[in-house]
């Protein structure tokens, strides 16, 4: 056996030792680096990675704030939020979606549109996200679902809140309604993209939308690695929207709507002539705002649009009508203000007015007409010939200038949207619109509120308010001072202090109001039969009938049918403007009964009844101790308000 030299063994040992040390050093370095990195991550960067881990574990979600209530002047709720129930389905738990939806459809109504929407949303969202199947369930529907939950995999009932209008279709034209945000209304605000968020679409809801919305809340949700909700960690409901107090007296509004329903289609406005506050703005027929918030069906929508009475229109501000003889006070004020007549100016009515080779008839064109009249008699008897004479004396442009000063021919500035301007013609207007000059024969029809002239009922009430108050008051529906509370002193000048003067001669105002007083309170007045007989409650007024169909020569030759023998849509509109009490006017009222034929017979009795009720509730004398109260909302909505107004 051959032995290795000792020197060779020592050399091999040294080589092994160096390699071992190098390997050990490398291992030690790697361990040190790892330790340093772990120290850096777990100690020096601990806060950073803790935050990142929390962000992965916790989702922050926006919560729609509770919308502010809308109240009447005494605090009666007109728009509230009530608890609602909806049924949702989770796709990953439901299994066969079609079978589950079919099963739900046997328990509650479920249309094809709703089914298609659910299936569409399931394709866009994660399978564990709940999809709303139907909302606003009744108690009975909730019960039917809950009883059958064991046989409905992935189905559950959720609780939410929705907008509710306790008075349904009696105040919709003022409150408006809310509905989901459309794609074109998105502004980038993430709150508006929430599936249960609603915005105002009409009326106060739209005009005061930002104030009513409030501030969004937040919900901290813990989720797992797949994004599935584990639990809610924290919840901030946000700031509810502001409460908006309106000028409306809901009891008077309720009374007015019930009164208007005796006619096919009608509207009524009452304004406080000192403050410009609108106490009632009623349009009949109307529609139930709750049908919009709860999801309008195509059948209901089509029926509303096809209705010839146009229930979707607020006739007080969107109905445009020839004012008829209710325009005569404007003609009188124009002539008096221009100094071209005095209250003693007299004209003779033989039943017609001849201009060139054309005769313009008075409504009393038989028996010699009205005879000789002054301004008082002209208004009392609504003599057309008297106002033909006055209008020809002053010209159309002076009439138009006065009408514009009184709030006609343009939106009044009301604080809800969609107010129509109407039309007040001038010489320049006709030339620009038709390319034809104004001729003398155009003026007589303007004198009696016909021809090219058109106005809204609100404009008629505003016109009368400005004559009475001698101030350029703007009508409004929102009370900046909030609700009126029992026991607090009433300020009769609230809201009227900053309105500029109209600059009218008080004697001219007195002359016009005296003639209107005679219309209802002197025998022979055109609306004497519709007077208020209670002492201290008497009203003054002016009737009007507005022709809506031109009578052709052939029809006249064949004999014109009586109004009540013509189709409803061809009959004259009936109008009446009024103020009360005559001794110290506080309220101005305008009533239009569409195709009601005669203002004195159809519209004046409505004005009488509404103004009598208005004065009975007069807040300048007292705050009613028993305003109409709405019951607390329950699962199926609040109780109906009492039939009898206080």
d(C-alpha 57, C-alpha 63), whole Å: 19
Q: Which residues, in sequence order, are CB contacts of 523 under 8 Å at separation 6+?
A: none
> Residue 385 is inside which H or E element, if any?
helix 384-394
Residue 55 contacts residue 227 (beta carbons within 8 Å): no
Cβ(614)–Cβ(581) below 8 Å: no
List Cα–Cα distances, 267 to 173, 292, 638, 643, in angstroms. 11, 22, 27, 21
Residue whose tokens read 């074109």: 184
How far is it, in rounded angstroms, from Cα 166 to Cα 628?
A: 11
325 is catalytic: yes
Q: Are strands 244-245 and 70-71 parallel, antiparallel or unpaired?
A: parallel
212 close to 240: Cβ distance less than 8 angstroms: no
Q: Report how far residue 565's alpha carbon sits from residue 561's, in angstroms, rounded to the nearest whole number.
A: 6
Contact 333, 508 (CB under 8 A): yes
Reference 466, options 268, 246, 274, 612; nearest CA is 274
Q: Which two structure tokens, joined as six digits, stand for 341?
A: 């007549």
Using alpha carbons, select from 378, 398, 385 the residue that is nearest to residue 359. 385
User: Measured between alpha carbons, how far is residue 210 from residues 50, 200, 221, 241, 481 in Å?
Assistant: 38, 9, 28, 8, 19
Helix/strand/coil for 492 = coil
Q: Which helix (H) or strand (E) holds 521?
A: helix 506-521
CB-CB contact of 368 with 351 (8 Å) = yes
* Sign of the CA dihedral with 378 first, then 349, 389, and 364 last: positive
Q: Characterize 366-376 residue by residue with b for buried, 16 or more Cβ atoms within 10 angstroms of its Cβ, and e for exposed.
A: eeebbeebbbb
In sequence order, which ranges of 139-208 are alpha helices (DSSP H)?
A: 139-147, 172-175, 203-207
Helices 384-394, 396-405: inter-axial angle, 10-degree rounding: 100
Token pair for 422: 């109407």
CA distances from 509 to 5, 88, 199, 216, 336 (A): 141, 65, 45, 53, 9
Residue with tokens 């031109």: 550
Q: Which of 265, 283, 286, 325 is catalytic?
A: 325
Dist. CA 517–CA 504, nearest whole Å? 19
Task: Indicate which residues carry an active-site annotation.
Answer: 325
């Amino acid at each position: 056996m051959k032995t290795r030299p000792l020197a060779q063994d020592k050399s091999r040992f040294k080589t092994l030792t160096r390699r071992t040390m190098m390997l050990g050093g490398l291992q030690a370095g790697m361990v040190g680096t790892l330790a340093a990195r772990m120290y850096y991550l777990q100690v020096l960067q601990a806060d950073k990675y803790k935050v990142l881990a929390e962000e992965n574990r916790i989702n922050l979600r926006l919560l729609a704030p509770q919308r502010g209530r809308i109240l009447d002047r005494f605090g009666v709720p007109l728009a509230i939020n009530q608890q609602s129930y909806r049924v949702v389905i989770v796709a990953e738990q439901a299994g066969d979606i079609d079978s589950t939806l079919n099963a739900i459809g046997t328990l509650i109504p479920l249309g094809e549109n709703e089914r298609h929407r659910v299936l569409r949303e399931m394709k866009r969202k994660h399978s564990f996200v709940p999809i709303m199947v139907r909302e606003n369930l009744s108690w009975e529907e909730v019960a039917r679902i809950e009883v059958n939950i064991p046989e409905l995999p992935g189905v559950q009932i959720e609780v939410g809140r929705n907008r509710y209008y306790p008075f349904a279709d009696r105040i919709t034209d003022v409150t408006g309604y809310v509905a989901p945000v459309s794609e074109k209304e998105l502004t980038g605000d993430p709150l508006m993209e929430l599936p249960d968020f609603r915005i105002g679409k009409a009326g106060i809801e739209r005009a005061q939308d930002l104030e009513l919305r409030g501030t969004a809340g937040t919900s901290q949700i813990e989720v797992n690695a797949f994004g599935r909700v584990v639990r809610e960690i924290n919840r901030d409901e946000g700031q509810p929207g502001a409460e908006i107090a309106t000028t409306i007296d809901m009891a008077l509004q309720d009374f007015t709507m019930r009164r208007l329903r005796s006619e096919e289609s009608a509207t009524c406005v009452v304004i406080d002539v000192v403050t410009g506050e609108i106490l009632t703005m009623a349009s009949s027929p109307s529609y139930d705002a709750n049908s919009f918030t709860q999801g309008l069906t195509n059948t209901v929508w089509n029926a509303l649009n096809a209705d010839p009475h146009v229930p979707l229109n607020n006739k007080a501000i969107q109905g445009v009508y020839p004012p008829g003889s209710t325009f005569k006070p404007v003609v009188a004020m124009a002539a008096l203000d221009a100094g071209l007549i005095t209250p003693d100016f007299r004209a003779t009515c033989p039943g017609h007015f001849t201009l060139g080779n054309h005769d313009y008839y008075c409504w009393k064109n038989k028996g010699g007409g009205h005879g000789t009249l002054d301004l008082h008699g002209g208004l009392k008897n609504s003599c057309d010939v008297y106002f033909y004479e006055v209008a020809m004396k002053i010209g159309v442009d002076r009439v138009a200038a006065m009408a514009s000063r009184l709030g006609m021919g343009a939106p009044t500035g009301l604080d809800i949207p969609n107010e129509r301007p109407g039309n007040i013609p001038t010489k320049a207007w006709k030339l620009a619109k038709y390319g034809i000059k104004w001729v003398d024969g155009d003026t007589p029809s303007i004198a009696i509120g016909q021809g090219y002239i058109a106005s809204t009922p609100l404009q008629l009430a505003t016109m009368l308010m400005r004559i009475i108050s001698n101030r350029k008051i703007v009508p409004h529906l929102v009370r900046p001072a909030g609700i009126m509370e029992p026991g607090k002193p009433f300020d009769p000048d609230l809201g009227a202090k900053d309105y500029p003067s109209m600059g009218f001669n008080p004697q001219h105002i007195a002359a016009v109001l005296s003639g209107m007083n005679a219309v209802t309170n002197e025998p022979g007045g055109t609306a004497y039969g519709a007077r208020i007989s209670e002492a201290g409650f008497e009203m003054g007024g002016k009737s009007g009938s507005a022709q809506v169909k031109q009578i052709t020569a052939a029809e006249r030759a064949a004999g014109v049918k009586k109004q009540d023998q013509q189709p409803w849509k061809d009959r004259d509109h009936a109008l009446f403007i009024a103020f009360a009490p005559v001794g110290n006017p506080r309220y101005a009222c305008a009533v239009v009964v569409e195709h009601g034929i005669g203002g004195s017979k159809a519209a004046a009795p409505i004005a009488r009844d509404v103004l009598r009720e208005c004065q009975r509730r007069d807040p300048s004398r007292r705050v009613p101790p028993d305003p109409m109260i709405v019951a607390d909302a329950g699962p199926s909505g609040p109780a109906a308000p009492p039939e009898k107004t206080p």
